[in-house]
Amino acid sequence: MANVILESSRGIQPVPIEDELLRKRMIFLTDDVNHNSCAELIVKLMYLDSLDSNDEITLYINSPGGNVQDGLAVYDLMKLIKSPIRTVCVGTCASMGAIIFLGGGRREMMAHGKIMIHDPAFGGNHDIGGMKSQEIQAQLDDLNRCRESLASIISERTGKSLKEIYKVTAHDTYFTAEEAITFGLATGLMEG
């Protein structure tokens, strides 16, 4: 990552841009939702909350989504910490990226941002070849529990009924910034 040059009592020194933005309580999810990206987010959220639990944290998101459990760990922490969290959709918040976006109290969209929500699917590691019917059913039951959990989050944050959410998430549904605001996914457009 690039550096910025800052002048301090120690003289002029290069500082990573990410460190300077973290100091200003700005953090980023610009990758897949996975173990590493979520572990980094969790550490940063906890650190900023420990510094000042009254000051807002801004989380900028441009993510294609990814692992449900890792994303839910971030979502749960966002609801648990005391610092107010503002999420900003920069580009696309898709799938689990959208769920993390929904964790913000203020949820803002850039003018050309998009949000995509859908039902969860089996990841690439699931091969049912050679599995018994009970094993397949157990995996399907787990997937349906995950679907219910994610639909409940979307319903709670948008004010829409579960029936409406299930209809919309049955397939990949994309929302422009204005559509996301109208649907209740976002609370407003980001303004300068």
pLDDT in tens, 78-132: 999 999 999 999 999 999 999 999 999 999 999 999 999 999 987 656 677 788 9
pTM > 0.75: yes
Is the pLDDT confidence value at 8 over 80? Answer: no
d(CA 56, CA 59): 10
Between β-strands 3-8 and 11-16, what pairing exists: parallel, antiparallel or unpaired? antiparallel
Residues annotated as catalytic (active site), given as ranges: 95, 118
Contact 2, 10 (CB under 8 A): no
Homologous superfamily (CATH) of 25-118+137-189 is 2-enoyl-CoA Hydratase; Chain A, domain 1 (3.90.226.10)
Is the pLDDT confidence value at 4 over 90? Answer: no
Instruction: Name every residue whose Cβ is closer than 8 Å to that of residue 56 and which is 6 or more positions away in sequence.
Output: 25, 83, 84, 85, 86
